[in-house]
Structure 1
Amino acid sequence: MTQQALTLKQSGVRWLWLALVMFVADIGIKLVVMNSMGYGWDNRIEILPFFNLLYVHNYGAAFSFLSDQAGWQRWFFTAIAFVVTGLLAFWMRRLPASDKWNNIAYALIISGAVGNVFDRVVHGFVVDYLDFYWGNYHWPAFNLADSAICIGAAMIILDSFRNNKKAA
């Protein structure tokens, strides 16, 4: 085994399997939603008193940020996702595989970024299907990719607090 192959095996890149699993799950769920549900809020499926499944398009980013623009945002968010994915993969390459917390966080963010980029490139929009609400207030619809990004980002933030306590 070459030194480089051994190094890759011992690096955080080993955790990219998690990104692949989450990406496949995200795309699979989106395809099921697109092929089996009617589009829009009127076709939602009530699951719990605070949760619906639905099929909607998001032409922007989180909370439909910039969704009302002429289409340039599709490529802008795609470029951002590629830069972030590249940076996180580079950092994973430098981390030991034993640093599970950060490698999992990075893999989750990569899976979410790539899942939403896939939608933007293939469909021209991101497929959202999760609707949580309280009374008449509905949180903006989102998907598994968005959840992975948020969980990964929260893990990075929590890790920064953990590291600050160790340094103090």
Structure 2
Amino acid sequence: MLFSVIAVVGCAVDLGTKQAIFAWRGPPPPIGPPNNEWWLIEPYIGIETAVNIGALFGLGAGAGRYFAALSVVAALGILVWLFRFGAARDRWLTVALGCVMAGILGNLYDRMGFWYETGMPVQWQSGVRDWILFRYGAHTWPNFNIADSMLVCGAIMLMWQAFMDPGAKPANASSGPKAE
């Protein structure tokens, strides 16, 4: 139940904010930098619509369908890990994987082209809508969205557990005596 709530609510917030921001600010220009900034805290935190046709930091541009397929495989892997191999018995893992699933689903929706409208550049068809803008001095962080944030939070939680509890047994490990 907890996993589903996190995954569904996280995905809904991601898709809702993308829809609202793109309706308010409009899509970015088809060529050139987005250049439709609106600052919450100028010049550090703002809103700027962008379409990422790649993956992390725009890597793999044009391979959106490939990334969509990887997303489906990752989502299925999470479900198997949770419910077949017992990770759902661990609350921390359940929350972490719920965050990751929310991010996967939010970006998968975009990669499948469900947001795409006729008249937009065809390369956007499998692109992901981004809108959160961070800038510090001359450095501008690549735009991202709530789904990306959910993925990062889930990944950090998974790493935290791996490093803070490296001796933990997997949920399905036997409880028999250790061999010495």
Question: Does residue 60 of structure 2 align to residue 66 of structure 1?
Answer: yes
Question: Does residue 138 of structure 2 align to residue 136 of structure 1?
Answer: yes
The aligned residue for residue 97 of structure 2 is 106
d(CA) in 2 for partners of 1:43 and 1:59?
Answer: 18
Once structures 1 and 2 are overlaid, which stretch shifts more, 115-124 or 35-44? Answer: 35-44
d(CA) in 2 for partners of 1:16 and 1:127?
Answer: 23
* Identity percentage of aligned residues: 26
Q: Map of 1:53-92 to 2, 5 A cutoff?
A: 53-67=47-61, 69=62, 73-92=63-82
d(CA) in 1 for partners of 2:88 and 2:72?
Answer: 23
Shift of 1:95: 2.7
Shift of 1:112: 0.4
Shift of 1:16: 1.5
Return 5+ residue gaps in structure 2 as ranges: 29-33, 117-124, 170-180
Question: Given that residues 18 and 108 in structure 1 are in contact (C-alpha distance below 8 angstroms), is that contact kept between their aligned partners in structure 2?
Answer: yes
The aligned residue for residue 161 of structure 1 is 163
Distance 1:116 1:104, change over 3 A: same
Task: Please give the TM-score of this superposition, normalised by the length of structure 2.
Answer: 0.78
Question: Does residue 38 of structure 2 align to residue 36 of structure 1?
Answer: no
Shift of 1:66: 1.5
Question: Given that residues 87 and 93 in structure 2 are in contact (C-alpha distance below 8 angstroms), is that contact kept between their aligned partners in structure 1?
Answer: no
Question: Does residue 50 of structure 2 align to residue 48 of structure 1?
Answer: no
Ranges of 4+ aligned residues in structure 1 off by more than 6 Å: none
Shift of 1:166: 6.2
Question: Given that residues 14 and 97 in structure 1 are in contact (C-alpha distance below 8 angstroms), is that contact kept between their aligned partners in structure 2?
Answer: no
Shift of 1:114: 1.0
**Code of the aligned partner of 1:64:** G
**Cα deviations by residue, 1:50-85 (Å, 9 ceiling, x for unpaired):** 111011111010101112x4xxx1111001100110
Q: For this pair of structures, how many residues does the alignment match?
A: 151
Shift of 1:35: 0.8
d(CA) in 2 for partners of 1:165 and 1:97?
Answer: 19
Shift of 1:39: 3.2
3-state SS of 1:43 partner:
coil
3-state SS of 2:143 partner:
coil
Distance 1:96 1:141, change over 3 A: closer
Over the aligned positions, Cα root-mean-square deviation in angstroms equals: 1.7
Shift of 1:155: 0.7
**Code of the aligned partner of 1:42:** N
Shift of 1:98: 4.7
3-state SS of 2:166 partner:
helix
